[in-house]
């Protein structure tokens, strides 16, 4: 008999941005440079759509507004194939690097654009680089004010680029009336281990990722959430010159193995979008 952990519906999420948007390369590539680079996000995201179809998996696609503006048909195709379209903000600027007014303008620009393309309300938001922290907690009130119902913008781990270790590790209703769905962690030896995907998933052998996810599902009795980016299945992407060694390692490690590992993940576990997985909670918090 199949275990309950394997049959539980978990949340698949994709942060739809290109290789030149990532925070790791923000000192080498400025937003003013983006239009002069050849985008790869359209073809990579369509490959993911085909892969999800093959495994009967649904996902939430957190679209960067810049990508949606360049590839409106991609947004429509994601929706047409039955996935959730959500917002990743417009310009991939970390929340704590913006004023409240700048953040509101960025988030509203992306939300309005995505809603015009889909004809549906966009209820979900994920901050670039999980950048809502104690210095930018005001962002939750703005997200609620402009019409978002949930956020998935926090990672309760200690990391050099993001994370608030002492924030909740399970989904919870914020005082502002917004459902926050943090990235999953596993407590081992008193420390919170990041197990949500991305670079960690590429770095670890699949058997270890599988074991950690299965343990999370057994111990936490709640859905697991995975995240990654379209550029992570693209080993042929251009190499960015001048980036620090740590940044290059994080970005490029095992890109050639990611698609096969992702196929294993889609086969082993059951996947849906965030609005499917948390449907009852979102209905209750409206």
Element (H, E) at 123: none
pLDDT given for residue 238 in this prediction: 94
E strands within the chain?
Answer: 9-16, 60-63, 84-87, 124-125, 150-151, 172-173, 179-180, 185-188, 191-194, 225-228, 270-272
* Cβ within 8 Å of residue 78, ≥6 positions away: 45, 49, 61, 63, 85
Q: How confident is the model at residue 28 (pLDDT cuts 50, 70, 90)?
A: very high
Q: Give me the half-sphere count of Cα atoms (radius 13 Å) on the Cβ side of residue 200.
A: 17
pLDDT in tens, 29-58: 999 999 999 999 999 999 999 999 999 999
Ranges of each domain in the chain: 9-285
pLDDT given for residue 169 in this prediction: 83
pLDDT in tens, 122-171: 999 999 999 999 899 999 999 999 999 999 999 886 655 555 767 888 89
pLDDT given for residue 162 in this prediction: 53
pLDDT given for residue 282 in this prediction: 84
pLDDT given for residue 160 in this prediction: 52
* Cβ within 8 Å of residue 273, ≥6 positions away: 11, 12, 13, 58, 59, 60, 83, 84
| pTM reported for the whole predicted model | 0.94
Q: How many percent of the chain have pLDDT more than 90?
A: 76
pLDDT given for residue 222 in this prediction: 87
pLDDT in tens, 168-194: 888 999 999 999 999 999 888 778 888
- Looking at the predicted structure, is the pLDDT value of residue 110 above 60? yes
Q: Which CATH superfamily is domain 9-285 in?
A: Glycoside hydrolase/deacetylase (3.20.20.370)
- Looking at the predicted structure, is the pLDDT value of residue 1 above 50? no
pLDDT given for residue 2 in this prediction: 45
CA–CA gap between residue 162 and residue 180 (Å, rounded): 16
Element (H, E) at 283: helix 279-285
The per-residue pLDDT of the chain, averaged, comes to 92
């Amino acid at each position: 008999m199949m275990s309950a952990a394997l049959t539980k519906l978990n949340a698949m999420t994709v942060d739809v941005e290109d290789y030149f948007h990532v925070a790791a390369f923000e000192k080498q590539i400025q937003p003013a440079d983006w239009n002069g680079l050849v985008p790869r996000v359209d073809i990579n995201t369509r490959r993911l759509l085909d892969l999800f179809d093959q495994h009967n998996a649904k996902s939430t696609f957190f679209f960067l507004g810049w990508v949606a503006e360049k590839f409106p048909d991609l947004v429509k195709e994601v929706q047409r194939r039955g996935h959730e379209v959500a917002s990743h903000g417009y310009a991939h600027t970390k929340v704590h690097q913006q004023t409240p007014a700048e953040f509101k303008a960025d988030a509203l620009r992306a939300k309005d654009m995505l809603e015009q393309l889909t004809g549906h309300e966009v209820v979900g938001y994920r901050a670039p680089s999980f950048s809502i922290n104690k210095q930018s907690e005001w962002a939750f009130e703005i997200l609620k004010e402009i019409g978002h119902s949930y956020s998935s913008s926090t990672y309760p781990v200690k990391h050099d680029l993001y994370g608030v270790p002492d924030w909740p590790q399970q989904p919870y209703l914020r005082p502002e009336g917004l459902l926050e769905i943090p990235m999953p962690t596993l407590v081992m030896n008193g420390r919170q281990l990041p197990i949500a995907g991305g670079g960690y998933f590429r770095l670890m052998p699949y058997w270890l990722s599988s074991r950690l996810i299965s343990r999370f599902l057994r111990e936490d009795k709640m859905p697991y959430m995975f995240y990654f980016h379209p550029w992570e299945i693209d080993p042929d992407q251009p190499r960015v010159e001048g980036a620090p060694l740590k940044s290059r390692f994080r970005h490029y490690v095992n890109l050639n193995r990611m698609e096969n590992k992702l196929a294993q993940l889609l086969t082993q576990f059951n996947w849906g979008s965030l609005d499917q997985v948390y449907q009852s909670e979102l209905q209750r918090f409206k």
